[in-house]
Amino acid sequence: MSAPDHRLTAEDLLSAATGLLAAEQDPLANMANLSALIFEALPDLNWAGFYLYRADASALATIFTLTGSTVPSGQPVTAQRLTEAQSDALLVASTRGELVLGPFQGRVACTRIAMGKGVCGTAALSRATQRVPDVHAFPGHIACDTASASEIVIPLVLSGRLLGVLDLDSPRKDRFSSADQHLLETLVAAFLATLPVSA
């Protein structure tokens, strides 16, 4: 599957994304439309989409034990209530989760990615953008699509909590520039700004 030939400028892409996000409150719908918009707007992509962070049961148990919380399921514990030692333990607990495939455009993708594995798992674990000019030189790269040659992954972090990552792949080496990184991080920030702090 290839993206259409029509491309948008960076300004047009930000404007279109802002319009989409203002018109809809459902995060899943917004992720689906952002994936499609990015895939249409940026040249030389073979995949654009989201992976969502899911903590495993033992990590969730650790989180609630650390806080002594009885917060009902589905309502997150805020980092502001944790001591420094608890925050450190919470970070360790969060490494036991995984990334699960979310809305995307492109070929069939890997469904689950362990924290710290591949470019997506590394971005999620480090909570830092990973811009990889040659994925074949990246230790532990996960080849969901063998056509991919370069990749950029931006973590989705809201109020100190990891929600997932935005992942873009290209069949061209060194496809993603620092300007692309800035643009995509701006798009992610705009998306995160639409979410309630308790999302």
- Domain locations in the chain as residue ranges: 56-96, 97-199
For residues 125 and 144, what is the distance between their CA atoms, to the nearest angstrom? Answer: 19
pLDDT in tens, 164-184: 999 999 999 999 999 999 999
* Helices 57-67 and 84-94, axial angle in degrees (round to 10): 170
Architecture of 97-199 per CATH? 2-Layer Sandwich (3.30)
Task: Decide: helix, strand or coil at residue 114.
Answer: strand
pTM for the complete prediction?
A: 0.78
pLDDT in tens, 113-154: 999 999 999 999 999 999 999 999 998 888 887 889 999 999
